[in-house]
Structure 1
Amino acid sequence: MLRAEGVTLGYGRTPVVHDVTLDLVEGGVGLIGESGSGKTTLARAFLGLLTPTSGNIWYGQQTLKNADMKAFRKDVQPVFQAEALDPRMRVGGSIAEALPRNARHRVPELLEQVGLSPDLATRRPHQLSGGQRQRVVIARALAVGPRLLILDEPTSALDVTVQARILDLLAGLDTERLLITHNLAVVGRLCRTSHVLFAGRVVESGPTADILAKPAHPYTLALRDAVPKLGGEPPVTTGRTEARPAGTGCPFRLRCPLAVPECEEAPALRDVDGRQVACHRAEDVLVG
């Protein structure tokens, strides 16, 4: 449904996303990366909220700037974090806002669809828990019957048990997903395909299960190894985590423990072990 083709964009003169090409395919797609990697900026371009400096976002057979935006807004809906709710509006009003007047009777049905009591329609956001507010945001997005949900860190502000309930809900929806997150467990649950971003560039793409089980890029490996394990050793710190992205060559080379002189030349994405990787030493990462 959506495709980024050679997309570069940023804020003012500061580029944030660099020449990114990727498809939103069936089975859920994850955009993985630390804060500042360009995930949310790219998601806003997919939503039509930002215009690429170069390249295009394709919606079906048309570029997004030439598309029927009424149809696009029905097909593609964002799910922001729970704080996106207007504190002055009651829950029912927030959901009904997305519905035509003759369909506002569906508010109780939508609340039940996300596992909430219709009685909550009369409450304001501050009267709900974090998990309840996140479900209201999802219900509002589902109101127009979208084909694709673009979810920006939908579980980051929730405790573990509430996260599990939200993930069960999202996994059970008959709707495609683009998930922006730094949480590898969430991506593993909801996304068949993933793209790892570092400094606005895709450094690894492929089946999520393969990427998480056996990363081929040092940055992906660092993200995976930084996840705490219950009852295990403390997370591993890989390379110099304080180093800024390099301005030339491989952007990760100043933090990479495997960097060699060859890394002063920027690596292109290439096929390695069933995925695409932008690393001169991808085979060494797989072996290691």
Structure 2
Amino acid sequence: MTSLRAERVTLGYGRTAVVHDVTLDLTEGGVGLIGESGSGKTTLARAFLGLLTPMSGNIWYGTQDLKKVDMRKFRGDVQPVFQAEALDPRMRVGSSVAEALPRADRHRVPDLLEQVGLTPDLATRRPHQLSGGQRQRVVIARALAVRPRLLILDEPTSALDVTVQAKILDLLAGLDTERLLITHNLAIVARLCRTSHVLFAGRVVESGGTADLLARPAHPYTLALREAVPKLGGEPPAARGRAEARPAGTGCPFRLRCPLAVPECERAPALREVAGRRVACHRAEDVLNA
């Protein structure tokens, strides 16, 4: 297994911190990062890829600080799967997939395209000649070309229709590759990740086994995310608290939205062990018992 670990990492752009004091391991069985847009998921993924240097804290690759590792070897072990817009519009599909391959291995391009459900004749086309779903599968094929040990996937099925999405999930689930999955889709996290971390305003607010965390949340934000998922034949999801409120600048960042907020929430909660997971909430036991 490829070991990547964040230890008390704070990340930002310029002098503005957007991820705060995060500690987590990319453990075996797949790890999910869950949260709304702006929660810091992609910023954290960029740090794990060595594309962003922490303002404080460390990213560890095995026993080495990521800043000191051989990046050529690292790029072979850890590959990103970004969204379809990451393809160079000037390059043909086959050239994009083959870019990381030695010349002697470029005969693998047709097999890689077929592995993600594309026909080899698409290798001669450019990205603008493909559908969004086809482009996303090319991105996945390109990442698989170097046989990585860990995939970091940023919304890998966001551009796919339901039937193609199912095929890609089957593909990812069947790969002998660890994965860090960034997504808004709780069903995909449940399918591909053994462990999940919920981020709000750049902070981890709940971490634990994915099945338990989604079945019985201990943080009001995790509960709100779960209840926002429409149910077939059911009533539309009801907003809880002030869904439009910005994160609080002091105390618990979720308190201005939280329907369970009390005066104690003006003091920032620390991550603590509750019912087999880690939760940053003063009222975690009340959420579990609700």
Structure-1-length-normalised TM-score: 0.98
156-165 or 234-243: bigger deviation? 156-165
Question: For 2:9, which of 7, 10, 14 is the aligned residue?
Answer: 7
Aligned-partner residue type, residue 66 of structure 2: L
Aligned-partner residue type, residue 173 of structure 1: L
- Note the alpha carbon deviations across 1:73-132, whole angstroms, 9 max, x for none: 000000001111112211100011110112111111211222222121111112222222
Question: For 1:231, which of 233, 256, 259 is the aligned residue?
Answer: 233
Q: CA deviation at 1:66?
A: 0.8
Root-mean-square deviation (Å): 0.9
Question: For 1:251, which of 250, 253, 262 is the aligned residue?
Answer: 253
1:214 aligns with 2:204: no
Paired residues of 2:136 and 2:159 also in contact (CA < 8 A):
no
Aligned-partner residue type, residue 262 of structure 1: E
CA distance in 1, matches of 2:94, 2:65: 35
Q: Secondary structure at the match of 1:57?
A: strand
In structure 2, the residue matched to 1:285 is: 287
Long gaps (5+) in structure 2: none
- Note the alpha carbon deviations across 1:162-195, whole angstroms, 9 max, x for none: 2222211111111111001111111111111000
Question: For 1:45, which of 37, 47, 50 is the aligned residue?
Answer: 47
Q: Secondary structure at the match of 1:236?
A: coil
Aligned-partner residue type, residue 67 of structure 1: V
In structure 2, the residue matched to 1:131 is: 133
Q: Secondary structure at the match of 1:52?
A: coil
Question: For 1:19, which of 18, 21, 44 is the aligned residue?
Answer: 21
Q: CA deviation at 1:200?
A: 0.3
After TM superposition, the structure 1 = structure 2 runs for residues 54-65 of structure 1, keeping only pairs within 5 Å, are: 54-65=56-67
CA distance in 2, matches of 1:107, 1:153: 24
1:271 aligns with 2:273: yes
Q: Secondary structure at the match of 1:111?
A: helix
In structure 2, the residue matched to 1:120 is: 122
Aligned-partner residue type, residue 3 of structure 1: R
1:28 aligns with 2:25: no
CA distance in 2, matches of 1:169, 1:51: 32
The percent identity for this pair of structures is 88
In structure 1, the residue matched to 2:106 is: 104
In structure 2, the residue matched to 1:72 is: 74
In structure 2, the residue matched to 1:204 is: 206
Q: CA deviation at 1:156?
A: 1.5
CA distance in 1, matches of 2:47, 2:170: 28
Paired residues of 1:131 and 1:166 also in contact (CA < 8 A):
no
CA distance in 1, matches of 2:56, 2:251: 21
1:182 aligns with 2:176: no
Aligned-partner residue type, residue 106 of structure 2: R
Paired residues of 2:40 and 2:202 also in contact (CA < 8 A):
yes
CA distance in 2, matches of 1:209, 1:116: 32
CA distance in 2, matches of 1:124, 1:70: 28
Paired residues of 1:149 and 1:175 also in contact (CA < 8 A):
yes
Q: Secondary structure at the match of 2:246?
A: coil
Q: Secondary structure at the match of 1:7?
A: strand
After TM superposition, the structure 1 = structure 2 runs for residues 138-149 of structure 1, keeping only pairs within 5 Å, are: 138-149=140-151
Q: CA deviation at 1:159?
A: 2.1
CA distance in 1, matches of 2:70, 2:273: 36
Structure-2-length-normalised TM-score: 0.97
CA distance in 2, matches of 1:55, 1:252: 24
Tell me which stretches of 4 or more aligned residues in structure 1 moved more than 3 Å.
Answer: none
In structure 2, the residue matched to 1:95 is: 97
- Note the alpha carbon deviations across 1:182-237, whole angstroms, 9 max, x for none: 11111111111000000000000000001110000000000000011111111121
Q: Secondary structure at the match of 1:110?
A: helix
Q: Secondary structure at the match of 2:52?
A: coil
CA distance in 2, matches of 1:130, 1:166: 14
Q: CA deviation at 1:158?
A: 2.1
